[in-house]
């Protein structure tokens, strides 16, 4: 049953995100699943980069990466993370904060098998975030991996997989005139706990 707080419906935030994401897929022709992932380094300094959302459900929001990359190393040291979606044509933003947990090997294998072969080869060839002497060095590694698996399926590298961001809070932002934006914040104390909702000043 839908309840209302002012003019804002108090829904399941996952259902709300699904509806907003469906709208974004219609309004944004390229990469509507792009989001800024923010992590925290061992020195406490934040870092951010754009990743692609590859799935979501009531358990959380899934993205994939090389575990040896900067974000992979930072998540291994501190799983606290945030995702920010900006659906600009719709005047909407979604901010998600929580804990990034590795997905299962079976889930990572299943997704890796759907990737284009070039991306599969690249996952083996690239030491993501490590210094690179020059483009020829990368191209040589790509050629070596491609030859190694010629005529066969490329397996998922053990250092490559996914994370599921299990949200502690989700904020839905809608742009309004005079910067009097609408902000609705869903929060919960534990991954299985009930959601509370409140409006925020813009």
Span 62-75, pLDDT tens digits: 999 999 999 999 99
* Residues in the chain, overall count: 202
User: Which residues are part of the catalytic machinery?
Assistant: 179
Q: What is the DSSP letter of 113?
A: T
User: Is 20 in contact with 94 (CB distance < 8 Å)?
Assistant: yes
Does 144 score more than 60 pLDDT?
yes
Distance between CA atoms of 64 and 95, rounded to whole angstroms?
A: 19
Span 33-49, pLDDT tens digits: 999 999 999 999 999 99
What is the structure's pLDDT at 8? Answer: 40
Residues 135 and 173 in one domain: no
Distance between CA atoms of 93 and 16, rounded to whole angstroms?
A: 12
Domains: count for the chain = 2
pTM score: 0.91
Residues 101 and 168 in one domain: yes
What 3-state DSSP class applies to 51? Answer: strand
Farthest-apart Cα atoms in the chain, separation: 62
List phi, psi (to 5°) of 72: -65, -45
Residues forming a β-bridge with 195? none
Span 92-139, pLDDT tens digits: 999 999 999 999 999 999 999 999 999 999 999 999 999 999 999 999
- Identify which of 102, 100, 123 has the alpha carbon closest to the alpha carbon of residue 113: 123
Distance between CA atoms of 152 and 36, rounded to whole angstroms?
A: 35
Residues 137 and 55 in one domain: no
Residues 183 and 141 in one domain: no
What is the structure's pLDDT at 6? Answer: 37
What is the structure's pLDDT at 192? Answer: 87
Residues 196 and 106 in one domain: yes
Does 17 score more than 60 pLDDT?
yes
Q: Domain containing 22 — which CATH number?
A: 2.30.110.10
Residues 133 and 38 in one domain: no
Q: What domain range is 123 assigned to?
A: 115-155
What 3-state DSSP class applies to 57? Answer: strand
Distance between CA atoms of 13 and 197, rounded to whole angstroms?
A: 9
Residues 40 and 129 in one domain: no
Measure the N-to-C terminal CA separation of the chain; round to a whole number of Å.
28
What are the start-end ranges of the H helices in the chain?
13-27, 70-77, 105-112, 117-125, 135-148
């Amino acid at each position: 049953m839908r309840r209302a707080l002012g003019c804002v419906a108090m829904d399941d935030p996952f259902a709300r995100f699904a509806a907003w994401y469906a709208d974004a897929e219609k309004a944004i022709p390229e990469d509507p699943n792009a989001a800024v992932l923010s992590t925290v380094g061992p020195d406490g300094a934040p870092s951010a980069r754009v990743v692609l959302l590859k799935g979501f459900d009531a358990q959380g929001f899934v993205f994939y990466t090389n575990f040896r990359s900067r974000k992979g190393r930072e998540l291994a040291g501190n799983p606290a993370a945030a995702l920010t979606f900006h659906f600009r044509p719709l005047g909407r933003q979604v901010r998600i904060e929580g804990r990034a947990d590795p997905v299962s090997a079976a889930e990572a294998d299943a997704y890796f098998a759907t990737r284009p072969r070039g991306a599969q080869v690249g996952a083996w060839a690239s030491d993501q975030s490590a210094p690179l002497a020059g483009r020829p060095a990368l191209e040589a590694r790509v050629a070596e991996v491609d030859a190694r698996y010629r005529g066969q399926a490329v397996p998922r590298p053990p250092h490559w997989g996914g994370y599921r961001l299990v949200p502690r809070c989700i904020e839905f932002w809608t742009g309004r005139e005079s910067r009097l934006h609408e902000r609705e914040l869903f929060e919960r104390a534990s991954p299985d706990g009930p959601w509370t909702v409140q409006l925020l000043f813009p």
